[in-house]
Structures are given as structure tokens and as C-alpha cells.
Amino acid sequence: MTYGTGLNPPSSEPFATAFEQPRRGSGAVIPAGGATQPHLPAVPTRRGRSTWLWLWAVLAVLLFGLVSYFTSALGTSASIVGLVLALAPFTLVVSAMLWVDRWEPEPRSLVIFALAWGAIASVGFALLVDLGVHLVLPRSPLWDVAGTVIQAPIVEELGKGIGVLLILLMGRRAFDGPVDGVVYGALVGAGFAFTENIQYFAVSVIEGGAGSLTWTFILRGLLSPFAHAMFTAVTGYALGRAVRGGASLAGSLRPWVGGLIGAMALHALWNGSAAFTGLEGFLHLYVVLQVPLFIVFTLLLVRMRHEEERLTKARLGEYAVAGWFTPEEVEMLATPVGRRAGMAWARTLRGDRSALMKSFIRDATALAATRQRAVSGRDARAADDERALLARAARTRQELLAR
């Protein structure tokens, strides 16, 4: 195996700890280059800053429009009640997704964008389409059902799916596989559900008072907080699988459409169980269909997390063969047990160096993801990221082991 970026793996005097740095292994050759940089380089920044600014400007305008709509159509008091209650399921879903994402945390900017897109752009798109349909077509009981079972799944999942696709386009080097796709998709869905819940809760207060609000909160906040997150996670999963397989941006469009269709189908099934069966039928389908779906979703998340751990260990193992890490370091950096042991050890060092250990773990995990991008051939700039991350990891190791 020959793989490298021109940096030499550090080979100073052996350390008398588990962090001992071996000399270059014979199983791989990393091309010789300049000495490891004395200062900590930054990972190359992503391009497209002006595009991000335009997207945020559009979101700001849409947010102003949504706030105006809610306060004028529903009233300030009812909107505030809806906002406060909507925070409960929103916090639950976001916390769960960040827990899933803790192995290789996504950039905070992309997490915030995913939530904002779902809460603002996706909802605004759905409201505009709904307004246009109502202006063109007369209201009728039949159309109300069709709007719930057909229009809502198609329009809402399309709006949310565009957000997931934008995250891939703008943050491609932070979109590494199925887990990332599920996390981004679920966060977009969580944002959408948050704003939609504000509307539903506010309408319940206005039309039925406390009793209606309580029942609506039970249905949406307690029984189905993960519904929208789960729907859009299907779109994210499809994109993540394509990315992991080395698909180009253009090649990701077909899986994206396939994921959208799956998300729309799940969404339609969910809405249809309430529209066609009534409350009793909905509760029955909830128990025999929706709960099992959620269990399957959870089990798939666990399986994908284990796959991420396995992949991290395999990729870091390749660097160990080349002499950048010891086998003990790979075990520490790429397993949950090893990470806990490493953090506990770092806290015993002079000055509590747990923050340095967190950085070491984070950079090593990012390095494994970068290696995967290089192996799949989908990122021409992976070598630049690798160079910076290797230097950072080496520097952090030195600081950890400093007397």
C-alpha cells in the first residue's frame, strides 16, 4: 500500500506509554517530504462562502414572513403558546440526533443550517404551495383528504429533501456516509416539525381551548415526535449511501430521488392512517405499524453507528501500518471503550489534558473519514485535508505527552 501526502510520520525517541510512536512500518511507504510543520495548520476551509451568505439571507427574509404570518393569522399569544410547547418534541429529537452523531460530530454550521432550512424554508415552501392550490381549486372534503395524503407528503418532503441536497452540495466534505445523511435529514425534519407544531398547537388553542390543545400535544408531541425526522432521514440515508459508494454530485441525484419517493411513501402512509381510519383506526395502526417502523429505524441507526466505528478502525489501521499511529492508539481512538479509557487517562495528566484528548480523537476520526473519501475517489482535495489532520494529530500527541 502506498498512500501519503508528502509528510513524514513523526519518529522521535520512543515514548514509554501507549502513545509510543513507532518508526515507519515496512508494510507501507509514505513518500518522503518536508518535516512536519512546526505550527498547527488549519484544515482547508470550504469554498462557497458567498453562496452560504445568500442562502442565509433568503432564510432571514422567509423567517420574517413566517413570523408575520403566524402573528397576524394566529395571534401573538396563541403563537407563543405553540412555540413553547413545540420546543419539547423539538429538543427531544435534536438531542437524540446529536447523540447518534457524537462519534463523528457534524460541523455546527451545517447542523444549524439543517434545522433552519427545515423550520423556515421547507415550511414556507409548503405554505406557498398550499395557498396556491387553495386559490386555484375549490375547497371540498374530498380535496382536504387528498391534500393530507397526497399533497402534503409530496410538497413537504420535496421542500425538506432540497435542504438535504443543499447540505451535500455546500458541505460535501462533511457528508461522509449513511449516518451523516440520516442525521442531516432528521435535523431538517425536526426543524420542519417544530414550526408545523407551533401552527397546530396555536390553532388548537384558538379553536378548542385547553382540551383540544392537550389532545393535539399528545398526538404530535408525545406519540409522534420523530415522524418528520424519520421521513426525511430516508432521503438523507439514500444520499449518504450514494456518497459512501463514491457517487459524484450528479450521480447522487438518482439516489436522492429514490430517497424522496421513500420519504413521501412513509409520510403518505402516516397521514393516511389518520385520514382514512379515524382515531381508533389510527391508534391501531400506530401500534401495529408505526411503532415497529420506529423500532426498525432505531435498530438501523445502531447498526450504522457500529459500521462507522468499524470503518474508523479500519482506516486508522492503515495509518498505523504506515507508522502514524500505534495499534494501541487505533484501539483507543476507534472504539467506545478505548475513547473512554483515553479520556480517563488524559484527566490524570498534569493540568487535566482531556480537552487535548478530545481534539486528538476528533482529528483522528476526521482523518479516517478523509481517508475514506480518498479511497472512494470522490474528493480531489482529500490529500490537503489529510496533510493538515496528520500534522494536527502529531502536534496534539506531542502536547498530550509533554512533561
- Cα 68 to Cα 62, 82, 155, 240, 320: the distances in Å are 10, 15, 22, 36, 57
Amino acid at 123: V
Whether residues 255 and 326 share a domain: the answer is no
Taken in order 139, 143, 144, 150, the sign of the CA dihedral is negative
Residue pLDDT, tens place only, 244-269? 888 888 899 999 999 999 999 999 99
| Number of domains forming the structure of the chain | 2
SS3 353: coil
Q: How many residues does the chain have?
A: 403
Residue pLDDT, tens place only, 65-119? 999 999 999 999 999 999 999 999 999 999 999 999 988 899 999 999 999 999 9
Rounded to whole angstroms, the Cα distance separating 194 from 198 reads 6
pTM for the whole thing? 0.84
Whether residues 101 and 245 share a domain: the answer is yes
Whether residues 232 and 98 share a domain: the answer is yes
* Domain closes at, from 227, 258, 276: 276
The pLDDT-based confidence of 205 (bands split at 50, 70, 90) is: very high
SS3 313: helix
* Domain closes at, from 228, 261, 276: 276
Q: Average pLDDT, stretch 310-337?
A: 92
Q: What is the extent of the structural domain holding 316? A: 310-400
**Contacts (Cβ under 8 Å, ≥6 apart) of 130:** 147, 151, 155
Whether residues 203 and 122 share a domain: the answer is yes
Do the domain assignments include residue 38? no
**Contacts (Cβ under 8 Å, ≥6 apart) of 370:** 173, 379, 382, 385, 386, 389
Whether residues 270 and 323 share a domain: the answer is no
Whether residues 130 and 255 share a domain: the answer is yes
Rounded to whole angstroms, the Cα distance separating 196 from 66 reads 11
Decide if pLDDT at 9 tops 70: no
Do the domain assignments include residue 77? yes
Do the domain assignments include residue 2? no
Do the domain assignments include residue 39? no
**Contacts (Cβ under 8 Å, ≥6 apart) of 339:** 332, 333, 361
Q: Average pLDDT, stretch 25-42?
A: 34
Where is 210: in which H helix or E strand? helix 178-217
Whether residues 135 and 247 share a domain: the answer is yes
Whether residues 267 and 135 share a domain: the answer is yes
Whether residues 390 and 348 share a domain: the answer is yes
pLDDT, mean over the chain: 85
Whether residues 120 and 250 share a domain: the answer is yes
Do the domain assignments include residue 214? yes
Torsion on CA atoms 191, 195, 200, 201, rounded to nearest 10: 100
The pLDDT-based confidence of 289 (bands split at 50, 70, 90) is: confident
Cα–chain center distance at 85: 24
Whether residues 344 and 246 share a domain: the answer is no
pLDDT at residue 231, as a whole number: 97
Do the domain assignments include residue 292? no
